[in-house]
Chains A and B, each alone.
Chain A
Amino acid sequence: MTLDERLENVAVLGAAGKMGSGIVLLLAQEMARLKVLNPDRSYHLYAVDISEKALDGLMAYLRAQAVKAAEKGCVMLRELYKNRTDLVENYDIIDQFTNDVGSVIRPTTELSMAGKARMVFEAIVEDEEVKIRILKTLDGLCPDDTFYFSNTSSIPIHILDEGVGLDGCIIGYHFYNPPAVQKLAELISTQNTRKELIDISHEIAKRLRKKIIPSNDVAGFIGNGHFMRDILHAVAEVKRIAGTFPGVEGIYAVNKISQDFLIRPMGIFQLIDYVGVDVCQLIMKVMTAHLPDETLESDLINRMVGKKVIGGQYADGGQKDGFLKYEKNRPVGVYDIDKGQYVMFDMDGWTKKVDDRLGPLPEGWSAWRKLLMDPKKEEKLRICFGNLKTMDTPGAELAKAYFKRSEEIGKGLVKDGVAQNAEDVNGVLTNGFYHLYGPINDYLA
């Protein structure tokens, strides 16, 4: 069965979730494109979720995102609709494509509706037992040759394969958040994975314009393999510097180091909030369960979840408060876990004092956003980090330690056989996390 034939019936589980909704959007666009090219065939995308309310929100989200995607891709869409003489202006074409995307989607809370699917993408809760139970149910409904794509970011694929009994018809297909924007998909196959499924996975990536980076089937894979250990380093640093940067100062300082000094898109604590503090805790638990020699756990993370201060996003994409407090999606305060309240950045000039104690940014520094599209990015990074190397301010020392640990984690992923090589580690961080550079580099050498 060809990919085009499989794309006639597709299901996404957890369709209204953060990852699921993005996956629905990507697949629905491709299916709409096929529908235009093959008007005599039918294309159905069963968007399955347990929450009807969330599905209502999903349709509004999809329409808005499909319009944005069509506006961005209008050059190609004009070619797609070149035979439609009634569609002349960009507006006509964007409107038609948006309608075509909507027409393939079948939102439902009934899992049985997905019984015709020849491809199932699951993006449900990161819980091994739940995933196995749902996939088992669906396996009983779908044709035998249905392929399953799991968006798990931590559970080994062979565990799901064996738990459900899919005999190699499942593969790890880990999109990054948000799926419609991030270029990366980590592909996790096992020794048992069918070759046809691997081939189709690469073909889908081309259609969805994703860059595939293979990861071996080790809990956490490359992405969370780096991210979770990065978190643990950050938390440990907060504890280590508590003498000079007590309480919220430590979180503020380490967040600033990881964002500004390292020129990343956001600080580590903002990233934890973006993913969800509870999600990070869950991923660490899964990884710990499947990694024989390592325990990934953080008292600070556990305490935050215990206090239900967990970040994540609102339905409209707005950032919920977590380690940091947000206004218009920008950090404005830090959570004081002992007092159970936020300390605002602008209160009594404390952040300025921390900034002063950390010291200046290196000579030649530019903000992440400014460097993102700069053709001389590499040269500028080299100059900036070259200067960082020579500095001995508290901020520079923290940044260098952060740099070093990030590199150790990256090299560890290669050494432990999670990643095939350093290039794949760097590729995941640059394509999936929007970093300007990979952790394995010679900037401070």
Chain B
Amino acid sequence: MKRMRKPVYFTAGYNTVSFGSGRKEFHPKKPRPGLEHYINEAGKGVLEQISDPDSIDEGVIGNFMAARFNRQGNLASLMVNIHPSLQYKPMVRVEGACGSGGLCLTTAVKSVLSETADVVLGVGVEVQNTVKAIYGADILAGAGHYAGERKEGHAYFFPAKFSDRAGACYAKYGHDKVRQAMARWYEQAILNARKNPRAQEYHNRIDDLFAAGMTPPNPRAFCEHINIYDCSKVSDGASALIVASEEGLDKIGIPKSRAVELAGFGVAVADITQPPPDQTKMTTVAAAVKKAYEMAGITSKDVGVLEVHDCFTIGGILELEAAQFVGEGEAFDFVLDGKTRFDAGIPTNATGGLIGFGHYTGGTGVREAVDLIHQLTGQAGDSQVSVPSDRPYGLMISMGGNDKTVVSCIFKKTS
């Protein structure tokens, strides 16, 4: 079992608005902010919370596909644009598809643990509304195996991958229960998003969310087993935070009460050229979470707040099983019984998750960590859930591809 050699803290989180369709101010034909804007907004949002930007030793930026969405590479260099004090400091860009944000976190953690840095600025960003969804699907399909499965794949490549998972679950556990659980998940995501002004679905005013979630799929235009409400939207946005040692917190003037301690983390990567061993299971998520639990020395019973990677409703639900909150095949009833709701046993995705808050792919893992910092330090505003004192841990799952590159982090309250 791996242990961290010293305490590592996360603090000073900042999320931009998740921008895209659904936001009142969004118009596909009007000019929108670009990568630079989001990186700078999120980065400066962090710097405003710390006493001395010069204290930042390193930077890590998580991003998936700026080279195609924005024709921009060398993002580490773009990160320096946040503040002059970052000039000539070590910066690195990491990529693991939609799990890039999670990799950003663990890369920063490793810098602190290796003692090359006491304070690391982590940023996750993606700006995807530069192309229509049908072309964005091409770009996002890069998270799958291009040579092996793109030609045979669906126009909406990743929705179809998770549609296949939904179909397998219908067959194994019964169509109606699974379908209804997915619709409930959507309803819960939007209700949570409506509490958070930065969420992409904050303005969502659909009267009957469950009915919308139950919309029959349209295979001619989209996927066989899922509808558009089962999918996270196309998003622009960024999140940023500080990863620091105890000394680092002192340098930036942050008391421990405004930080969370990393209790454990796990990274698991599976072979992208191989199909999932079981469409009804997220085995790589399970592997990553298991490592995180072992490092933290806890179980799911100790977790009071949860952030899962629900790029699709079915994915979010299956992750509940992979993260050991319920047994195999039990997640659907768990959701239908309301156990993941804002005010229930294990509040999940309190700001809406990827379905409700939005999914700026390469930045989502950082967004999840920022939300858990806010939850565990009581700074979540209207999105604040009750975290019981006997379950002071927050767990997050950041996933790239179809359960291929997964990072799980567990944080705990410092006081």
Q: Which of B155, B220, B221 has the most CB of A within 10 A?
A: B155
**Chain A 69-100: CB-based contact to B (< 8 A → 1; otherwise 0):** 00111111110000001001111001000000
Interchain CB contact under 8 A, B154 and A75: yes
A contact residues around B246 at 8 Å (CB): none
Shortest distance between the CB of B280 and any CB in chain A (Å): 25
A contact residues around B219 at 8 Å (CB): 75
Cα–Cα distance between A375 and B208 once the two chains are bound (Å): 10
Count of A-B residue pairs with CB < 8 Å: 36
**Chain B 205-235: CB-based contact to A (< 8 A → 1; otherwise 0):** 0001001000100011110000000000000
Interchain CB contact under 8 A, B220 and A90: no
The 10 closest A-B pairs by CB, nearest first: A74-B155, A89-B138, A75-B155, A71-B134, A90-B138, A88-B151, A90-B134, A78-B155, A90-B155, A74-B134
Interchain CB contact under 8 A, A91 and B138: yes
**What is the chain A residue whose CB lies nearest that of B211?**
A375
Interchain CB contact under 8 A, B220 and A76: yes
Cα–Cα distance between A94 and B135 once the two chains are bound (Å): 10
Query: For the complex, is B69 an interface residue (Cβ under 8 Å from A)?
Result: no
B contact residues around A307 at 8 Å (CB): none
Interchain CB contact under 8 A, A94 and B134: yes
Query: For the complex, is A41 an interface residue (Cβ under 8 Å from B)?
Result: no
Interchain CB contact under 8 A, B151 and A75: no
Query: For the complex, is A339 an interface residue (Cβ under 8 Å from B)?
Result: no
> Which residues of chain A in 286-332 are interfacial with respect to chain B, using CB atoms and an 8 Å cutoff?
none
Interchain CB contact under 8 A, B134 and A88: no
Query: For the complex, is A376 an interface residue (Cβ under 8 Å from B)?
Result: yes
8 further contact pairs, Cβ within 8 A, besides A71-B132, A89-B141, A91-B135: A72-B221, A74-B155, A75-B154, A75-B155, A75-B221, A77-B155, A85-B151, A90-B135
> Which residues of chain A in 348-395 are interfacial with respect to chain B, using CB atoms and an 8 Å cutoff?
375-376
> Which residues of chain B in 22-36 are interfacial with respect to chain A, using CB atoms and an 8 Å cutoff?
none
Interchain CB contact under 8 A, A75 and B222: yes
Query: For the complex, is B137 an interface residue (Cβ under 8 Å from A)?
Result: yes
B contact residues around A75 at 8 Å (CB): 154-156, 219-222
22 pairs across A/B with beta carbons < 8 Å?
A71-B132, A72-B221, A73-B221, A74-B134, A75-B219, A75-B220, A75-B222, A77-B155, A78-B154, A78-B155, A88-B146, A88-B150, A88-B151, A89-B138, A89-B141, A89-B150, A90-B134, A91-B135, A91-B138, A94-B134, A375-B211, A376-B208
User: Which residues in B have some Cβ–Cβ distance to A below 8 Å?
Assistant: 132, 134-135, 137-138, 141, 146, 150-151, 154-156, 208, 211, 215, 219-222
Q: For chain B, what secondary structure do more than half of its interface residues adopt (helix, strand, loop), or is it mixed?
A: loop
> Which residues of chain A in 76-131 are interfacial with respect to chain B, using CB atoms and an 8 Å cutoff?
76-78, 85, 88-91, 94
Shortest distance between the CB of A72 and any CB in chain B (Å): 7
**What is the chain B residue whose CB lies nearest that of A75?**
B155
**Chain A 52-84: CB-based contact to B (< 8 A → 1; otherwise 0):** 000000000000000000011111111000000
**What is the chain A residue whose CB lies nearest that of B205?**
A370
B contact residues around A94 at 8 Å (CB): 134
B contact residues around A88 at 8 Å (CB): 146, 150-151
A contact residues around B215 at 8 Å (CB): 375
Cα–Cα distance between A73 and B222 once the two chains are bound (Å): 9
Shortest distance between the CB of B221 and any CB in chain A (Å): 6
**What is the chain B residue whose CB lies nearest that of A92?**
B138
Shortest distance between the CB of B152 and any CB in chain A (Å): 8
Interface size on A, residues (CB 8 A): 16
B contact residues around A74 at 8 Å (CB): 134, 155
Cα–Cα distance between A89 and B156 once the two chains are bound (Å): 10
A contact residues around B134 at 8 Å (CB): 71, 74, 90, 94
Shortest distance between the CB of A55 and any CB in chain B (Å): 28
Cα–Cα distance between A73 and B211 once the two chains are bound (Å): 26
Cα–Cα distance between A78 and B153 once the two chains are bound (Å): 9
Cα–Cα distance between A230 and B414 once the two chains are bound (Å): 72
Shortest distance between the CB of A372 and any CB in chain B (Å): 14
B contact residues around A72 at 8 Å (CB): 221
**Residues A90 and B137 in contact in the complex (CB < 8 Å), given A75-B155, A85-B151:** yes
Cα–Cα distance between A77 and B132 once the two chains are bound (Å): 17
Cα–Cα distance between A85 and B150 once the two chains are bound (Å): 11
B contact residues around A77 at 8 Å (CB): 155
Cα–Cα distance between A84 and B211 once the two chains are bound (Å): 40
Cα–Cα distance between A363 and B279 once the two chains are bound (Å): 49
Shortest distance between the CB of A73 and any CB in chain B (Å): 8
Shortest distance between the CB of B234 and any CB in chain A (Å): 14
Cα–Cα distance between A71 and B141 once the two chains are bound (Å): 16
Shortest distance between the CB of B387 and any CB in chain A (Å): 38
Shortest distance between the CB of A310 and any CB in chain B (Å): 29
A contact residues around B132 at 8 Å (CB): 71
Cα–Cα distance between A72 and B138 once the two chains are bound (Å): 14
B contact residues around A89 at 8 Å (CB): 138, 141, 150
A contact residues around B141 at 8 Å (CB): 89
Cα–Cα distance between A72 and B133 once the two chains are bound (Å): 10
A contact residues around B220 at 8 Å (CB): 75-76
B contact residues around A91 at 8 Å (CB): 135, 138
**What is the chain B residue whose CB lies nearest that of A70?**
B134
B contact residues around A375 at 8 Å (CB): 211, 215
Shortest distance between the CB of A386 and any CB in chain B (Å): 19
Cα–Cα distance between A72 and B219 once the two chains are bound (Å): 13
Shortest distance between the CB of B154 and any CB in chain A (Å): 7
Shortest distance between the CB of B271 and any CB in chain A (Å): 21
Shortest distance between the CB of B135 and any CB in chain A (Å): 6
B contact residues around A376 at 8 Å (CB): 208, 211
Cα–Cα distance between A74 and B132 once the two chains are bound (Å): 13
A contact residues around B222 at 8 Å (CB): 75
Q: Which of B135, B141, B151 has the most CB of A within 10 A?
A: B151
A contact residues around B138 at 8 Å (CB): 89-91
**What is the chain A residue whose CB lies nearest that of B221?**
A75
Cα–Cα distance between A91 and B155 once the two chains are bound (Å): 10
Shortest distance between the CB of B9 and any CB in chain A (Å): 43
Shortest distance between the CB of A209 and any CB in chain B (Å): 10
Cα–Cα distance between A14 and B74 once the two chains are bound (Å): 54
Cα–Cα distance between A72 and B220 once the two chains are bound (Å): 10
Cα–Cα distance between A312 and B208 once the two chains are bound (Å): 39
**What is the chain B residue whose CB lies nearest that of A84?**
B151
Cα–Cα distance between A443 and B134 once the two chains are bound (Å): 41
